[in-house]
Amino acid sequence: VRAYFNSTGFERWRRIYDPATDDVNRVQLDIREGHAQTVAATLAMLRDAPDVPLAGATVCDAGCGTGSLSIPLAAAGASVLASDISAAMVSEAQRQAQAALAAGTSPGFRMPRFEVRDLESLEGRYDVVVCLDVLIHYPREEAQKMIRHLASLAGKRLVISFAPKTLYFDVLKRVGELFPGPSKATRAYLHSEKDIEEALRAAGWRVNNKGFISTQFYFAKLYEAVPVAAGSS
């Protein structure tokens, strides 16, 4: 995964994530829209959380990609750690964040702290931990382990997205209709809602809010979780 996202994968996904880039095909454009909807839904969930105002909140964006979530979080005044397994992705995210800061359109913009890390090595404590479109690269057992680890870093909110495992979506994946090119080098894993919820419960968390994003070639379940103690109060 690291090698892929530092080479051909970086260039492919950079084009997909960058709305200013026209060099994409119909499938890639559709995936771009799906990912953008997931980012927008995540921001809406966090803005609607009365106990976690974004201004001043500490946020870990685990698997930040090119910064599509980290940058608007920073513009809202959050203190963001943006991490990714790919040095190329982190470099591009940092470049885009610096451009956003220089533009001066968000007076409260706080420059994120960028780090090249895999999920396993993330550490620290944050009000919010977010992990979007990453679990698709982890098989079931590893995904559950990663959820437990991410939950251990979060204090108030954990937001994750995953490709749901249903018969319909499994068929779509198997016939190769989800991904942006024949040379994609990483395997994609779907996850059942039951497995994700069990991993959250094992970590002492529960689902507080759900979303579902679906375009023609992109689909994702979005979970906002809270600590069980907080949810029962």
233 lies in some domain: no
Q: How many CA atoms lie within 13 A of 131 on its CB side?
A: 27
Average pLDDT value for residue range 182-206: 85
Does residue 176 surpass a pLDDT of 80? Answer: no
pLDDT score at 17? 76
Question: How many domains does one find in the chain?
Answer: 1
pLDDT score at 23? 76
115 lies in some domain: yes
pTM: 0.87
Q: Is the dihedral of CA 179, 182, 185, 191 positive or negative?
A: positive
Say which CATH number the domain at 60 has: 3.40.50.150
Q: Which domain holds residue 64?
A: 1-182+189-227
Residue with the two structure tokens 């396993």: 120
Lookup: tokens for 120: 């396993």
List pLDDT tens digits, range 84-127. 999 999 999 999 999 999 998 899 999 999 999 999 999 999 99
Does residue 53 surpass a pLDDT of 60? Answer: yes
pLDDT score at 16? 76
Does residue 177 surpass a pLDDT of 70? Answer: no
75 lies in some domain: yes
232 lies in some domain: no
Lookup: tokens for 17: 């994530």
Residue with the two structure tokens 């079931």: 140
Does residue 204 surpass a pLDDT of 60? Answer: yes
Residues near 200 by Cβ (< 8 Å), separated by ≥ 6? 147, 151, 158, 206, 207, 223, 225
Residues near 88 by Cβ (< 8 Å), separated by ≥ 6? 5, 6, 7, 10
